[in-house]
């Protein structure tokens, strides 16, 4: 397994990768969700590269950049058995050297949901992912359905900027009680961990109403809010039932749709979603 930090090291290492290359971009502090992306990439590509980079430009001023969990040694141990060919672990200075001034921005898809709560977030995401794509030049890139809007925004960017890359979106891995795996789950202490299952419970309630024939999107949003309201520690930021492709809020559910939410459990901000149809 080659480990690169600078752009020069990355380029030397990249030239040694023959055949199809799959890239799995991550912010590290890896869990089974990340590992499932790596395993899928490994099964579909000749070579697998992963990036580990806590991207400062996608964090808002009041967000958790400085306390975001980081542990490279632990991450390298976790991926050791998976046959990863290249790990790229750049520093913020490598990605954004002094004088840096170029940004990639996707427009309307980044406005609702996460974009409405985290101004500038997706500008940071698309910029760093474009830089990762340019540096690694993968044939395929693997993202999680857990970050549904991120996957949609990157799909749009790939199409608009003609990146010759196939995007693969992988299902969300969950703990036994339904909580979506996330590096941020580390912040959930004591009773917060149990309270955090309320996102899964709310999404499940709306999904079973949908499966029983409910197509009124407002009723599905109301149902999710009702379940969230039953959990005193949960403070919802948004609750959405939107078109899967445009992310616009629906009146009536038809075709592929996305139930999604962001909820504060104490101080920990969690997101989750289910796809309908």
Q: Which residues bind ligand AMP (CB under 6 A)?
A: 26-27, 33-34, 36-37, 143-144, 146-147, 170, 172-173, 180-183
Strands (E) located in the chain: 2-4, 21-26, 47-52, 86-88, 140-144, 166-170, 234-243, 257-265, 268-276
For the bound state, the minimum distance from the C-beta of residue 58 to ligand AMP, rounded and expressed in Å, comes to 9
Of 10 and 132, the one with the shorter C-beta distance to ligand AMP is 132
What gap in Å lies between CA 269 and CA 191, rounded to an integer?
15
Of 143 and 210, the one with the shorter C-beta distance to ligand AMP is 143
Tracing tokens 């990605």 back to the chain, one arrives at: 95
Residue 112 DSSP class: S
For the bound state, the minimum distance from the C-beta of residue 223 to ligand AMP, rounded and expressed in Å, comes to 24
**DSSP string of 175-193?**
-TTSPBP-GGGGG--THHH
Tell me if residue 34 is catalytic. Answer: yes
Of 8 and 63, the one with the shorter C-beta distance to ligand AMP is 63
Of 121 and 146, the one with the shorter C-beta distance to ligand AMP is 146
Which of 31, 34, 121, 139 is labelled catalytic? 34
Q: Which distant-in-sequence residues (6+ apart) come within 8 Å of 134 by Cβ?
A: none
| Structure tokens given for 248 | 């616009």
In terms of phi and psi (left: phi > 0; alpha: psi -120 to 50; beta: otherwise), the region of 264 is beta
For the bound state, the minimum distance from the C-beta of residue 153 to ligand AMP, rounded and expressed in Å, comes to 12
For the bound state, the minimum distance from the C-beta of residue 22 to ligand AMP, rounded and expressed in Å, comes to 13
Annotated catalytic sites, by residue? 34
């Amino acid at each position: 397994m080659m480990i690169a930090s600078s752009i020069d090291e990355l380029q030397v290492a990249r030239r040694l990768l023959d055949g199809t290359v799959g890239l799995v971009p991550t912010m590290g502090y890896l869990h089974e969700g990340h590992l499932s992306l790596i395993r899928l990439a490994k099964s579909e590509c000749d070579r697998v590269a992963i990036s580990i980079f806590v991207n400062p430009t996608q964090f808002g001023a009041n967000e958790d950049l400085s306390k975001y969990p980081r542990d490279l040694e632990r991450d390298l141990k976790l991926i050791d058995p998976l046959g990863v060919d290249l790990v790229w672990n750049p520093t913020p200075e490598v990605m954004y050297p002094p004088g840096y001034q170029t940004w990639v921005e996707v427009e309307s898809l980044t406005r609702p949901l996460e974009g409405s709560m985290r101004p500038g977030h997706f500008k940071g995401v698309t910029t760093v992912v474009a830089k990762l794509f340019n540096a690694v030049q993968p044939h395929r890139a693997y993202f999680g359905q857990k970050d549904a809007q991120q996957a949609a925004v990157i799909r749009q960017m790939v199409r608009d900027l003609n990146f010759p890359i196939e995007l693969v979106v992988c299902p969300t891995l969950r703990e036994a009680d339904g909580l979506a795996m996330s590096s941020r789950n580390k912040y959930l202490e004591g009773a917060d961990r149990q309270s955090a299952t309320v996102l899964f419970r709310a999404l499940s309630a709306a999904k079973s109403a949908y499966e029983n024939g409910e197509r009124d999107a407002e009723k599905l949003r109301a149902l999710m809010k009702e379940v969230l309201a039953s959990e005193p520690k949960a403070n919802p930021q948004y609750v959405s039932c939107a078109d899967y492709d445009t992310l616009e809020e629906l009146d009536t559910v038809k075709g592929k749709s996305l139930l999604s939410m962001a909820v504060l459990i104490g101080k920990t901000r969690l997101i989750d979603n289910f796809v309908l149809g």
